[in-house]
Structure 1
Amino acid sequence: MAEESKQYTADKEGERLDVFLTRMEPELSRAHIQKLVAAGKAEVSGRARKSNYKLQAGEMVSLTIPAAQPVAILPEDIPLDVLYEDADIIVVNKPRGMVVHPATGVYSGTLVNALLFHCHDLSGINGEIRPGIVHRLDKDTSGVMVAAKNDAAHIDLAEQIRTKTAHRIYNAIVCGNIREEAGIIKGDIGRHPTDRKKMAIVHEHGKPAVTHFRVLERFGDYTLVECRLETGRTHQIRVHMASIGHPVLGDPKYGPRKACPFAIEGQALHSLSLSLTHPVTRERMTFTAPLPEDMANILKVLRAKYKR
């Protein structure tokens, strides 16, 4: 991939150059942006400026993003819980704690490394870093995922997700007692304005997001809910549930700062089922993954305490 040059027009008076560029390029961290600026990769009206330069509305800003350095992604003999597999797709139950695909600083131990060892043939649409990956789950979210073994399957599955004909259902244990039986949460999601490692409901530069939830069981201080996604934004369920005052139990980013009282690493969120149309046979298929042991144990404790 060649280096990329981008042009923008400053739209806020007095905004720092690095803050503006981070807002324009939400996939890049502010630290990364600052390194590019320090290297002279950012110019304002044709002149290199520092990160703290205060922009004037209407100024032309350019940013040159260097080409990514190639990284060898190697197959690794990592056990997989395979729910279904044929010549076109593979469906797995991803464990909590596993990163889906390599990213900065994480180039081994991912689901992609495991799939490359297990399958040998994966679609190449997402490039060398994310072969076969049609959708993703957060590192500490477990459950059903599908990967494509060829480009035709990848294109078809991606279209199903885009048009919402592929349906995903999640189970989550959230903090607090949700009084409603069900509800719909709407709120555009984008990068948090001050913490670039988090997402948030934002009014500018966010992407539309809709989450449907339904209460399954109540346990006084906790509620087991089913969540159905209309959209698939980063951290969507976690951000939306936190926005209504019911963050996912154990969530290190969006949950309470106090220590989680249960034995679980990460958020109590599980991709329970995925329904899709097979990209070749056109058969409608539904795949289900049982709750992981840690979530099942938490529910056992809660049921023993509250279901008397």
Structure 2
Amino acid sequence: MPPFTMTFSIDEQHDGKLLRQFLQENGISRTALTDIKFHGGALLIDGRPVTVRHVLRAGETLSVVFPPERTSDWMDPEEMPLHIVYEDDYILVVDKPAGLATIPSRHHPGGTLANGLLHHYRRQRLDSTVHIVTRLDRDTSGLVLVAKHRHVHHLLSTLQQKGKVARTYEAICHGVMVDDEGTIDAPIGRRGDSIIAREVREDGKPAVTHFRVLERLHGYTHVSLQLETGRTHQIRVHLAYVGHPLAGDDLYGGSREMIDRQALHSRQLSFFHPFARRWLTFAAPLPGDMAHLIETVRSSTTPT
């Protein structure tokens, strides 16, 4: 597989500019430049090597060749069905089913989305490790954004910090929410000595969740949610905090009577593509278990 390469056509706007400045303006950090210099990468103008002190001229073609990426020798590729919603040379969007962990852990060392993606890469002869940009809990379904190279991961993470990666979730929570829409602004931290559970606490990290009611059902509410922050279990903790835990989320007070996992789905993903230079938006329909829950409680009794 050819090395990961970024190519730029130099126009009049950048004529006379130092290559170092141009690279910084295009998201290539000093750390990345050091990696390129000492680990087998290259900076090429019209195919010939140059340094960061090169003065750019309109009409030139710049190629930034990144060093080979170290592959994941601690993680085994595993063949599994993957619902790939979008793929190009830089980015993948995958619709993850509930019950599939995103990355390996002590409790789930294999059989994860990352293992499946690694197998997908090997079939493409792509020498890269798996870079998850938007991670989901094991029992949360929906869209996951994946970078195919560590530099792409860096660019997407930077865009995420600037609000240019947006996710919309849908959930089914216990109880009938009164307000049509609103914001939950409550800091989140670890619950006691637990390495898993979180809770709202004064010394926690800032966390903001916006919600909008989609439908009020008998004993439940179908709700749309957007995050300003990305704390662990944020939606689960915030909804439990306001008295409406997710259906199926027994860690935070929900009941598994109607569904055997938390009823939470990453419904829509929008992001600014750092290479196509435009916004892309993808959607994943509600999975069968959540759709069935809605239909079941909708047809039971009209809420009062």
- Give the TM-score normalised by the residue count of structure 1: 0.71
Residues in 1 aligned to 2:100 and 2:171: alpha-carbon distance in whole angstroms: 18
The question of whether the paired residues in 2 share the 8 Å contact of 1:116 and 1:122 is answered with no
CA–CA distance in structure 1, aligned partners of residues 245 and 266 of structure 2: 17
Matches within 5 A, 1:81-92: 81-92=83-94
State the Cα distance separating 1:265 from its structure 2 match: 2.5
Deviations 1:133-159 (A, max 9, x none): 112100000000110011232111111
Distance 2:127 2:91 in 1: 9
* Counterpart in the other structure of 1:163: 162
> Matched residues in 2 for 1:252 and 1:261: separation?
10
- Is 1:142 matched with 2:141? yes
Distance in 2 between the 1:233 and 1:172 partners?
17
Cα offset, 1:307, TM superposition: 5.4
- d(CA) in 1 for partners of 2:142, 2:300: 27
Are residue 118 (structure 1) and residue 125 (structure 2) matched?
Answer: no
Cα distance in structure 1, aligned partners of 2:242 and 2:127: 39
1:302 pairs with one of 297, 300, 303: 297
CA contact (8 A) 2:168 2:267 kept: yes
Aligned to 1:221: 219
Bigger Cα Rg: 2
Residue 261 of structure 1 pairs with residue 261 of structure 2: no
Residues 1:274 and 2:273 are matched in the alignment: no
Q: Which residue of 1 aligns with 2:58?
A: none
Amino acid in structure 1 at the alignment position of 2:270: S
Please say if 1:132 is aligned against 2:131.
yes
Moved more, 73-82 or 185-194: 185-194
Contact 1:140 / 1:265 at 8 angstroms: preserved in 2?
A: no
Secondary structure of the residue aligned to 1:109 is coil
Instruction: Tell me, in whole angstroms, the C-alpha distance in 2 between the residues paired with 1:307 and 1:244.
Output: 23
From the superposition, tell whether residues 226 and 109 of structure 1 become closer, same or farther in structure 2 (CA, over 3 Å). Answer: same
Q: Is the 8 A contact 2:185 2:208 kept in 1?
A: yes
Question: Does residue 175 of the first structure (1) align with residue 174 of the second (2)?
Answer: yes
* 1:54 aligned partner: none
In the TM superposition, what is the alpha-carbon distance from 1:228 to its structure 2 partner? 0.4
- Find the aligned partners of 2:261 and 2:296 in 1 and give their Cα distance: 18
CA contact (8 A) 1:190 1:200 kept: yes
Aligned-partner Cα distance in 2 for 1:304–1:283: 42
In the alignment, is the contact (CA less than 8 A) between 2:218 and 2:297 conserved in 1?
no
Amino acid at match of 1:88: Y
Matching of residue 242 in structure 1 with residue 240 in structure 2: yes
Q: CA deviation at 1:123?
A: 5.4
How many residues are treated as equivalent by the alignment? 229
Indicate conservation of the 8 Å contact 2:171/2:223, yes or no.
yes
**1:71: Cα distance to partner?**
6.9
Percent identity over the alignment is: 45
Runs of 4+ residues deviating >3 angstroms: 120-124
Query: Residues 105, 303 of structure 1: CA spacing in aligned structure 2 closer, same or farther, 3 A cutoff?
Result: closer
- Please say if residues 250 and 256 of structure 2, whose CA atoms lie closer than 8 Å, have aligned partners that are also in contact: no
Alpha-carbon distance in 2 for matches of 1:208, 1:123: 34
* Rounded Cα–Cα distance in structure 1 between residues aligned with 2:183 and 2:221: 16
Shift of 1:252: 2.0
Stretches of structure 1 that go unaligned for 5 or more consecutive residues are: 1-69, 125-130
Match of 1:210 among 208, 222, 235: 208
CA contact (8 A) 1:122 1:148 kept: no
Once residues 174 and 115 of structure 1 are traced to their aligned partners in structure 2, the CA distance between those partners, rounded to angstroms, is 32
1:93 is paired with a residue of what secondary structure?
A: strand
Distance in structure 1 (CA, Å) of the matches to 2:193 and 2:89: 45
Shift of 1:284: 0.7
Cα offset, 1:192, TM superposition:
0.5
Taking structure 2 as the reference length, what is the TM-score of the superposition?
0.72
277-286 or 107-116, which moves further after superposition? Answer: 277-286
Q: 1:122 touches 1:150 (CA, 8 Å); kept in 2?
A: no
Q: CA RMSD in A?
A: 1.7
